[in-house]
Amino acid sequence: MVRGGIDLGGTHMAAGILAEDGKLLAVAERPTRPGRPAEEMAGDLAGALEEAAEKAGLRPEELASVGIGVPGAANDETGVVTNCNNLGWYHLPLRELMHRYISRPVHLGNDANAAALAESRYGAGKGTKSCVMITLGTGVGAGIVLDGRVWNGAFGYAGEIGHMCLVPGGVPCTCGRSGCVEQYCSATGLIRMGQRACELFRDTRMMTEAGGDLSRLNARMILDCARDGDPRAVSVFQEYVRFLATVIDGMIVLLEPEMIILGGGVSRAGSFLLDAVSAQLPRWEADEKRPDIPLRAACLGNEAGMIGAALLGDA
């Protein structure tokens, strides 16, 4: 069974053709250009899919189903994208729009959930039935896979851990609340902590890396400086790790998945980050036999969104 999967992002849309073994046979991309009519965008989604199918030597009608991962909340039962801030879509009947262009069954889901599904089937979580994938990028998102299926929540908003409160009364968040996980555990949060350290301690190597311009400091520079032992960067990294470990511990206590997978730009720090977070996770002192839940870095990269979207039909 060959399926189509489209990862619809804020800047570009990527369509992939997924073979039964979890390999992408072909990929095609289009710019998203948010702000234009949704109908036009649906036409481009279908166009990218047709192009990918053609590259794979198939006609779109030969696809068993087509899945679309959106950067927001979607309801697969009704075929409606309920809330997608980045694209300005609210209660948009995307499935209906897609059926003007393609005749295959169309499934909708959240992009972070789709990526988690892909990692659990074919990536870092291969062989597990339950896992949580946390994406550490500009923001923070999570996808929850339980018994091999994505848990979307009652209304499609499950897994939005970026806006769970981590520090009561903390840093104001874009969502209107304050102290959200996203303000501390995203790349943006890490950069903010790095910039604050630079303002307090001008002697840090982070300052040199950024060429003396704090607005140029990025997450990779902070992680590199911490890895190289710059004391200020090490403190920032440790603070970041404590916040992240608190969030991960919460996921483990609540769901006890078989594995926690970290994805997104910050996760590229690999074992440097994973080992530091693992060391900070609280242990069950009173129950020594209680197993530790392993942490792994995502391994499918940008393909996870397309692969996961294609799998939405049977999850």
The piece of 17-25, 27-35, 173-181, 302-310 that touches Zn ion (CB under 5 A) is 173-181
d(CA 180, CA 164): 5
3-state secondary structure of 239: helix
Closest distance of CB 172 from Zn ion, Å: 9
User: Given the rule CB under 5 A, which of 62-70, 97-105, 179-187, 217-225 is the region that contacts Zn ion?
Assistant: 179-187
Measured in degrees and rounded to the nearest 5, phi and psi for residue 285 equal -60, -35
**Contacting residue, 173, 214, 234, 274, with Zn ion by CB under 5 A:** 173
Q: Which is nearer to Zn ion, 175 or 281 (CB)?
A: 175
163 contributes a contact to Zn ion by CB under 5 A: yes
Measured from the CB of residue 85, what is the shortest distance to Zn ion in angstroms?
12
| Minimum distance of Zn ion from residue 184's CB (angstroms) | 11
Binding test (CB under 5 A) with Zn ion, winner from 97, 117, 166, 180: 180
Q: How far is the CB of 289 from Zn ion (least distance, A)?
A: 38
Residue 104, interface with Zn ion (CB under 5 A)?
no
CA-CA distances (angstroms) from residue 49 to 84, 110, 212, 218, 313?
21, 18, 45, 34, 16
Asked whether position 164 contacts Zn ion by CB under 5 A, the answer is no
Residue with tokens 């499918």: 300
- Decide: 204 and 197 in contact? Cβ < 8 Å: yes
Stretch 198-227: interaction string toward Zn ion, x if CB under 5 A: ------------------------------
Nearest-angstrom CA–CA distance, 4 and 45: 11
Binding mask 105-144 for Zn ion (x = CB under 5 A): ----------------------------------------
Query: Which of 175, 214, 252, 255 is close enough to bind Zn ion by CB under 5 A?
Result: 175
- Beta pairing, strands 140-146 & 89-92: unpaired
Alpha-carbon distance values, 244 to 133, 134, 162, 250 (Å): 13, 10, 11, 10
**Cβ-contact 60, 104 below 8 angstroms:** yes
For residues 29 and 9, give the distance between their C-alpha atoms in angstroms, rounded to a whole number: 11
Number of residues that bind Zn ion (CB under 5 A): 5
Min CB(182)–Zn ion separation in Å: 5
Determine the straight-line distance between the first and last CA of the chain, rounded to whole angstroms. 15
Residues that bind Zn ion (CB under 5 A): 163, 173, 175, 177, 180
